[in-house]
Amino acid sequence: MNKKALYAVMLAMLLPLTAYFIVKRKSETAVTMPRHYLPDSVVTVTKKGKRVEDTAWHRLADFALTNQEGRPVSWDSMKGKIIIANFFFTHCPTICPGLTLNMKRMAESIHNGQRVGDRTNKQVHFLSFSIDPERDSVERLKYWADKYQIDPEQWWLLTGDKKAIYDMVIEEMKVGLVDGQGVDTNFIHSDRFVLIDSNRHVRGYYSGLDSVDLAKLSNDLVLLTMEKDPKSKSFFDGKLELMAIVFLLAILGVGLLLFFIRKKQ
């Protein structure tokens, strides 16, 4: 093997490694994932020899409510799923029909990509919390679900203990509500859609009546479905660069071995 051939082999090995790091760098910086909300605490930790701040994000507390099918529901019922939640009541004369219609359009726009068979997206679930649970019985929620042809496999309307619901909405999700004491027009309730990841962390607030916000929610939802769960670690985590270097060094070693064998001959 002459010098030109050796240089060609070395260049051929260097190019893939360079391309790998360029692509890796671009893939890390090109996409901005939906931000986290509601920090619980910030601590300083050491990672790879550097001291960095690590935020512990608020994990939504569990709840025990009932859906429109009369089935008990908690976060465990949706383990591993991304959630889009909103707030309504069936006697609402103003924004609730529009919120339900927009949620329905979003639910129908999401499917699992199959061309045949079950098209229900198994990774995303929708929740609508009734802020008027005293009147929104299971039967009343079933009526609302039938009226808007809501798929109970993909979307649950929830009722139950009023304090539990208000604690979830106000204290946990930090969405403002004011109880109008049973008078429909005095309910000051939110038009927010809340995006919640599979770890029960809030990842976004969007107006359920604004087309621009809804488009952003759809985009953020797609990004969130591709996000890696920080709790799960792959065998290859942190090892890809080392494996690439070892692989290229092995090729270089083979090239040098062939060079010396050829030289002796």
Residues 6+ apart with CB under 8 A from 178: 186, 187, 188, 189
Domain holding 205, by residue range, is: 56-226
Does one domain contain both 135 and 212? yes
Q: Is residue 69 located within the same domain as residue 144?
A: yes
pLDDT digits (tens, 9 = 90+) for 194-235: 999 999 999 999 999 999 999 999 999 999 988 875 554 444
77: pLDDT strictly greater than 90: yes
pLDDT averaged over every residue in the chain = 80
Summarised one tens digit per residue, pLDDT across range 90-120 is 998 889 999 999 999 999 988 644 444 444 5
Widest CA span of the chain, in angstroms? Answer: 98
pLDDT at 229: 59
Answer whether residue 25 shows pLDDT above 80: no
CATH number at residue 73: 3.40.30.10
Q: What is the distance, to the nearest Å, from the Cα of residue 179 to the centroid of all Cα atoms in its chain?
A: 30
Structural element, H or E, at residue 84: strand 82-88
Higher pLDDT pick, 10 / 158: 158
79 and 176 co-located in one domain:
yes
Is residue 50 domain-resident?
A: no
Pair 153, 185: CB distance under 8 Å = no
Continuous segment of H or E residues that includes residue 204: strand 202-207
Instruction: State the total domains in the chain.
Output: 2
93 domain-assigned: yes
Specify whether 214 is located in the same domain as 264: no
Q: Are 201 and 36 in contact (CB under 8 A)?
A: yes
The mean per-residue pLDDT over the stretch 131-160 comes to 96
Residue among 238, 247, 214 nearest 84 (CA) = 214
d(CA 6, CA 223) in angstroms, rounded, equals: 44
Q: What is the DSSP letter of 213?
A: H
Q: What's the average model confidence in pLDDT over 119-131?
A: 84
Claim to verify: residue 146 and residue 257 sit in the same structural domain: no
257 confidence band (pLDDT: 50, 70, 90):
low
Cβ-in-10-Å burial (0-12, 13-18, 19+) of 10 comes to middle
Q: What is the enclosing helix (H) or strand (E) of 157?
A: strand 155-158
219 and 243, same structural domain? no
User: What is the three-class DSSP state of 149?
Assistant: coil
What digits encode the pLDDT tens for the residues 195-206? Answer: 999 999 999 999
Q: Which of 93-102, 141-150, 238-247 has the lowest mean pLDDT?
A: 238-247
Question: Which pLDDT band holds residue 192 (cuts at 50, 70, 90)?
Answer: very high
